[in-house]
Amino acid sequence: MTSRISQLIRRPPAVVVHGLADAREALGVGLPVTLVSAPGAALYAGAGWWTALTAAARAEYPGQPFDDLLDCGDAPGRAAEALRAGQRLIVLRGVTPALHERVRLMAEALGAVVLTAMPEALDLARPGARRRLPDWLRSAPVWTAKTDTG
């Protein structure tokens, strides 16, 4: 029987971004942040889009480290694609335990993490979110996610 070790992943406050302009806005505040894709973004925009967006953000804000999380919805194939593209933090939900385990093992081999739920996040597409962004980043709790490893 394989033993499992649970670990808590601590990340800065999460902000849902829908494009590079949103990423710039979130990073422009100058506080720690986790950029989060829209729900299911890997299905309709793809891992390549997310990788390009976060690479552009890193190039424009080289002194500001940030985490990024791609939502793969209920698509294990898209999750695997994202992992192969270099994504190290993904969400995969609504799949069978066997499929989730296969993706988790792939992620583990690549040094990545698969979450089963999105963290609470400020969505920049919501009315008033841009105005609330600085306060959110200052006061939102650091989120944690439980993951299991082999």
What are 150's two structure tokens?
Answer: 């082999």
Q: Is residue 149 part of a domain?
A: no
146 domain residue, yes or no: no
Per-residue pLDDT of the chain (150 residues), as tens digits, is 343 444 566 789 999 999 999 999 999 999 999 999 999 999 999 999 999 999 999 999 999 989 999 999 999 999 999 999 999 999 999 999 999 999 999 999 999 999 999 999 999 999 999 999 999 999 987 777 655 555
Residue 89 in any domain: the answer is yes
94 domain-assigned: yes
148 assigned to some structural domain: no
CATH number at residue 82: 3.20.20.70
- 76 membership: H or E segment, kind and range: helix 76-84
| pLDDT at position 147 | 56
Q: Is residue 69 part of a domain?
A: yes
Q: How many domains are contained in the chain?
A: 1
pTM to 2 decimals?
Answer: 0.89
3-state secondary structure at position 95? coil
Full residue range of the structural domain in which residue 68 is found: 11-138
Distance CA 77, CA 54 (A): 21
67 neighbors 12 (Cβ within 8 angstroms): yes
119 within domain boundaries: yes
**Crossing angle for the helix pair 20-28 and 46-60, to the nearest 10 degrees:** 40
